[in-house]
Amino acid sequence: MAIEHIEKTPGVCGGQARIAGHRIRVVDVVIWHERCGWTPDEIIARYPQLTLAQVYAALSYYWDHVDEIRQAIADEEALVERVRSQTPSRLAKKIGRAREDSVSSG
């Protein structure tokens, strides 16, 4: 049964569905599979602590809870964008200073 491989624990990984006994979330497996194009075999090659059954259980959980997982992905993307927009890039600052220095000296 796939559900034995998936658990939700308040306070662990934000209470999101994850592979039992690990901090690898279903969302992570879905992103690796759907967006990175990794096969289940590639996922376990990169994360040998997982079993093929656990990876397939995570993907199965996703298909049984598509709205929940897609919302979690959207929420994370929104958070990243908020942080990115509120956090100035150090590289951009350095490039800006370098340009200012070259304009003032040239």
pLDDT digits (tens, 9 = 90+) for 32-90: 999 999 999 999 999 999 999 999 999 999 999 999 999 999 999 999 899 988 887 78
83 or 100, which is more confident: 83
Look at residue 106 in the predicted model and tell me its pLDDT: 58
Distance CA 71, CA 65 (A): 10
Give the gyration radius of the chain's Cα atoms: 20
Q: Which long-range contacts (CB under 8 A, 24 or more apart) does 81-87 make?
A: none
Q: Under DSSP, is residue 97 helix (H, G, I), strand (E, B) or coil?
A: helix
Look at residue 85 in the predicted model and tell me its pLDDT: 86
Phi-psi region of 51 (alpha: psi -120 to 50; beta: other; left: phi over 0): beta
Look at residue 101 in the predicted model and tell me its pLDDT: 67
Q: Please report the sign of the dihedral spanned by the C-alpha atoms of residue 94, residue 95, residue 100, residue 102.
A: positive
User: 2-105: what CATH class?
Assistant: mainly alpha
Tokens of 96: 């800006």
Distance CA 69, CA 97 (A): 42
